[in-house]
Chain A
Amino acid sequence: MGPGILEVLFEYWPIFLKGLVGTLKYAFIAVSLGSILGALIALLNLSKSKILSAIAVVYVNVLRGTPLLVQMYIAYFFLPIAIPALNSVSKEVYVLIALIMNSSAYVSEIIRGGINSVDKGQTEAARSLGMTAKNTMTKIILPQAIKNILPALANEYIAMIKETSLAGTFMLYELMYTRTILANKYLSWQPMFIIAGIYLMCTLGLTYVVQKLEKRFSVSD
């Protein structure tokens, strides 16, 4: 049976803390860089060019339709072959690229949905006043779309906190990786309960914050 859960937590808490920091950091990098990439994909998707929007649709479908773990393996083994310049960077970067691309696919759909949720009459009113397409998007449509986009982005961050657990497979120091470290000390089940508890606190806590934010946003309706 070995030591109890609390004993393990007290003895090894710095390891779990470092894992938690890694998890939050990777999720943040994935969602923030994924948001920038996702915004570009959403623009492609909404563009009038059929070719550009088809590229965006294929990108989104492939990344949402295949498991993240598979994408990580492909990034890990194939990226250094495809782009020899990447050979000099750490392996951490390959896995992060997979996380960022995966997140960008989800974020692009969030942004596209947010923009489409704004009534078409808003665009027509702005254009009928002689406003340019750019000003119409930045001053009229996006400020209204952001209300739907921000809470969904926060939810994507929560989902990504769980998704990053796969990165431990590739020796990235995040919560799941602490399992590998502690397995060397003959601890099998205790760390898993601790890890599950930390994940749960993060996701429930953030979900609560998002709900509060959503309420704040809906006040201006």
Chain B
Amino acid sequence: MTEFNEVLIETVNLKKNFGDLQVLKGISEKIYKGEVVAVIGPSGGGKSTFLRCLNMLEEPTDGQVIFEGNVLDAKSTDLNLHRQKIGMVFQQFNVFPHLTVLDNITIAPTLEKKVPKADAEAEAMQLLETVGMADKAKEYPRKLSGGQKQRLAIVRAMAMHPDVMLFDEPTSALDPEMVKGVLEVIQKLAESGMTCVIVTHEMGFAKQVADRVLFIDDGIVAEEGTPEQLFDHPQNPRTQEFLSQIL
């Protein structure tokens, strides 16, 4: 991991409670520019909550998230500006059903970055081209398959020119035959040098694209390392148990 030296996101002793339930128990991590980090672990272990804290969709109970040198504050108006540089892709796609495919992509750049509509649409068409959906530009999302919705969600985030992309189990809600197409898009993105944090259950994919893997269990990073270290030679008994159950 010596090739990465510029810290993009840092969490400092990140904690999150839901009521009495302590979901994150103190996570201090650094995500480096250009790095692809896969986050794995059992359900309910806190990996999605960790990801959602990175752009303040969940407000941490304690600790800090530092993005490009700025401490993120859920109450600050600057948060919107920082979020523009943190793309996010959700398990349930969350495309906007009342907007066409094209408008899904252009709405945030035109409203929040004042990009002229014609420019935003030209770029949106290019992005759609890269995911093989240019012919769907005028359709409404209800006409799309799950895989197409997720690819739309990815390019919608890309249209804001983010510095990092967060993926929250991007293929978990897809029919099996749709998974490959979406993973290919994410892989292309990762190979283009985009910083990515990917919460996933696709271990083969994690092994293939990730520079580093975090195993989050019971609210802490129980183990981390290169894919080879973590998948082939796990040290922590909990990692070994988790991998033995799913591989």
Give A contacts to B, CB under 8 Å: 119, 121-122, 124-132, 135, 139-140, 143-144, 220-221
Contact = CB atoms under 8 A, between A and B. Distances in A.
A121 B90 contact: yes
Given A124-B90, A131-B80, A220 B157 contact: no
Given A126-B96, A131-B111, 13 more contacts: A121-B90, A122-B94, A124-B90, A128-B83, A128-B86, A128-B87, A129-B83, A129-B84, A130-B80, A131-B112, A144-B97, A144-B98, A220-B98
Given A135-B111, A139-B107, A140-B96, A125 B83 contact: no
B160 interface: yes
B55 interface: yes
Contacts of A221: 97, 142
A129 B112 contact: yes
Interface of B: 55, 57, 80-88, 90, 92, 94-98, 107-108, 111-112, 140, 142, 153, 156-157, 160
A89 B16 CA distance: 58
A132 B82 CA distance: 12
28 contacts: A124-B94, A125-B96, A125-B153, A126-B96, A126-B108, A127-B57, A127-B83, A128-B57, A128-B83, A129-B83, A129-B112, A129-B157, A130-B80, A130-B81, A130-B84, A130-B108, A130-B112, A131-B107, A131-B108, A131-B111, A140-B96, A140-B107, A143-B98, A144-B98, A220-B98, A220-B140, A221-B97, A221-B142
Contacts, number: 65
DSSP class of A's interface residues: helix, strand, loop or mixed? helix
A132 B86 CA distance: 15
Contacts of A128: 55, 57, 83, 86-88, 157
Nearest to B56: A127
A129 B98 contact: no
Given A127-B83, A130-B80, A130-B84, A139 B111 contact: yes
A129 B153 CA distance: 11
Contacts of A127: 57, 80, 83
